[in-house]
DNA sequence: CGCACCAAAGTGATTAGATGACTTAAACAC
DNA sequence: GTGTTTAAGTCATCTAATCACTTTGGTGCG
């Protein structure tokens, strides 16, 4: 039924199934390439090609001299393209538009769920943002908000959007006021804690639209050099 | 500045940049592995590892005896995890919930945009669905709807969601009435053509919730064998 | 005893060359 | 002109070896 699928692809699936069968958790190591090669009766280069596939999707990480480690993304459905080359500001705006489209719904779900620990995570994220120069990953308020929705697909989508956004030039240039950001997050969280889904959604939308406005304003003040931007836009 | 990044990862980036620099479009072939090896002054196995990474994310495809082809996903930001092992019905419901959360917003955007060609694509998808046993990919009404939103990130998210859903056992078992599906799609499209974003969003939400109801009903009638399901659920 | 240094083992990284299998298209025969 | 055959190009996989990095455990000095 699967007549002509390559050996590497089959091997990749077998490795994934092995990880799941042996219940290997993120952080744990896989057997060495040599051992895997013997177990699946292939050679080391073939195993390495399979591992490179898994590496590209963040399912594993190959660490020189140390070993091959299972990574979180093995449990993710939605990923960001690690080979995507970010370009223009229009793409950054597009990402913000996407967030405007989906995050209000996420906030509404979070308000309905009302998980205690999720609320705690969001409060924690609220504090962290004021102190550490927290990057995009975990601990980010919007990520915790998405986690609080209880829907892993939505959570993974938002993580992906933010990961892509962080690779954009505009990410660093955006100068959204730290305190204002904090206050608006607090307002959203407040609505969630009250279980007011409608208000949480509304505040989230306004918050993101405000960010978008700032980004656009920054752009107007100091338009970037968009050599590669035009080529991307016309396609 | 990039102290200890592997040779393969660097090579992968260089290949992507080469593709973009030479403006290679999906369907076109890359130079042979041997040529790439000489150009970047590495050996063939190293090139192959880099290509396997790109293959895992759908950016390229290696075809035995033919060549290495550029694929559409090289322009995608959001991907579905090709190594994800689908499991239980709960995950399928989660995907539908995610769609309920984001698709109404997409429909609203589509109604605001009102692209003529996008509307044509949706009408085409409407007809196809009644005739061909169209699978998940292009031509699917909901995919065209997402495309009509004008936001590529949203479009890619929906494609990813549907791709994952298609790999679920429940995908085939869902027996949503073909005619009812068509009629509800037509109703959504009708609202979009009128520019009524609110109504388009509302009808989209109702449509997806109805599908969810049917899936749940199917499950109640004929509960599946969920050996692997429980392990996933408790985590 | 405790700490620093060092050596060895394990592992991944990369290279090298060779063989096999598949695809495509050109050359050829009919 | 059509069909077959042949040859070249390409990916697929293997074998073998060397290099680089990490970790660990010991060894010896203080």
pLDDT number for residue B119? 86
Which CATH number, 3.40.50.2300, 1.10.3470.10, 2.40.100.10, 1.10.10.10, labels domain A7-75? 1.10.10.10
pLDDT number for residue A231? 42
pLDDT number for residue B167? 84
Q: How does residue A2 score in pLDDT terms, banded at 50, 70 and 90?
A: very low
Q: How much of chain B, in percent, has pLDDT values that exceed 90?
A: 63
pLDDT number for residue A55? 97
Chain A touched by B167 (CB under 8 Å) = no
How large is the average pLDDT for residues B122-132? 76
With a cut of 90, say whether residue B73 has pLDDT above it. Answer: yes
Chain B touched by A115 (CB under 8 Å) = no
Q: How far is the CA of A114 from the C1' of C2 (A)?
A: 54
Chain A to chain B, count of Cβ pairs less than 8 Å apart? 155
Q: What gap in Å lies between CA A191 and CA A107, rounded to an integer? A: 9
Residue A18, judged by CB atoms within 10 A of its CB (0-12, 13-18, 19+), counts as: middle
Q: How does residue A232 score in pLDDT terms, banded at 50, 70 and 90?
A: very low
Q: What gap in Å lies between CA B226 and CA A46, rounded to an integer? A: 34
Structural domain boundaries in chain A: 7-75, 89-234
Which positions on strand C lie below 7 Å from a protein C-beta? 10-18, 21-24
Q: How far is CA A33 from CA A43, A130, B50, B85, in A?
A: 9, 44, 17, 22
Backbone angles phi and psi of B81, in degrees to 5: -70, 110
Residue numbers 78-117 of B with CB closer than 7 A to any atom of strand C: none
Span of B148-152, B208-212, B228-232 with lowest mean pLDDT: B228-232
pLDDT number for residue B174? 66
Q: How does residue B214 score in pLDDT terms, banded at 50, 70 and 90?
A: confident
| Nearest one of B131, B109, B110, B132 to B121, comparing CA atoms | B110
CA of B81: which chain A residue's CA is closest? Answer: A77
The residue ranking higher by pLDDT, A233 or B163, is: B163
pLDDT number for residue B61? 97
Which tens digits make up the pLDDT trace of B9-43? Answer: 999 999 999 999 999 999 999 999 999 999 999 99
Q: How much of chain A, in percent, has pLDDT values that exceed 70?
A: 84
B62 touches strand C (CB under 7 A): no
Per CATH, B7-75 and B89-234 having the same topology is answered no
pLDDT number for residue A82? 95
pLDDT number for residue A127? 79
Nearest by CB to residue B94, choosing from A50, A85, A153, is A153
Q: What is the DSSP string of A21-61?
A: HTTPPTTPBPPPHHHHHHHTT--HHHHHHHHHHHHHTTSEE
pLDDT number for residue A174? 66
pLDDT number for residue B1? 42
The CATH topology of domain A89-234 is 1.20.120
Span of A37-46, A193-202, B224-233 with lowest mean pLDDT: B224-233
With a cut of 60, say whether residue B48 has pLDDT above it. Answer: yes
A64 touches strand C (CB under 7 A): yes
The residue ranking higher by pLDDT, A59 or B122, is: A59
Which tens digits make up the pLDDT trace of A87-133? Answer: 778 888 899 999 999 999 999 999 998 888 888 889 888 877 666 55
Q: How far is the CA of A70 from the C1' of C18 (A)?
A: 34
Backbone angles phi and psi of A32, in degrees to 5: -65, 160
With a cut of 70, say whether residue B114 has pLDDT above it. Answer: yes
| Nearest one of B99, B222, B120, B214 to B165, comparing CA atoms | B99
Q: SS3 of A183, please?
A: helix
């Amino acid at each position: 039924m699967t007549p002509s699928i390559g050996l590497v692809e089959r091997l990749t699936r077998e490795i994934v199934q092995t990880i799941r069968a042996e219940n290997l958790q993120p952080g744990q190591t896989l057997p060495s390439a040599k051992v895997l090669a013997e177990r699946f009766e292939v050679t080391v280069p073939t195993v390495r090609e399979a591992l490179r596939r898994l590496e590209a999707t963040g399912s594993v990480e190959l660490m020189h001299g140390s070993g091959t480690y299972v990574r979180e993304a093995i449990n993710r459905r939605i990923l960001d393209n690690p080979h995507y080359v970010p370009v223009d500001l229009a793409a950054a705006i597009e990402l913000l538009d996407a967030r405007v489209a989906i995050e209000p719904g996420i906030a509404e779900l979070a308000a309905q769920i009302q998980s205690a620990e999720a609320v705690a995570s969001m409060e924690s994220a609220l504090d962290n943002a004021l102190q550490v120069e927290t990057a995009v990953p975990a601990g980010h308020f919007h990520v915790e908000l998405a986690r609080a929705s209880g829907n892993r697909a939505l959570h993974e989508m938002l993580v992906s959007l933010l990961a892509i956004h962080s690779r954009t030039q505009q990410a660093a240039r955006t100068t959204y006021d730290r305190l204002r950001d904090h206050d608006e997050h607090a307002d959203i969280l407040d609505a969630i804690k009250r279980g007011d889904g409608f208000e949480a959604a509304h505040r989230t939308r306004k918050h993101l639209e405000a960010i978008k406005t700032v980004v656009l304003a920054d752009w107007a003040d100091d338009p970037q050099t968009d050599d590669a931007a035009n080529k991307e836009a016309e396609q």
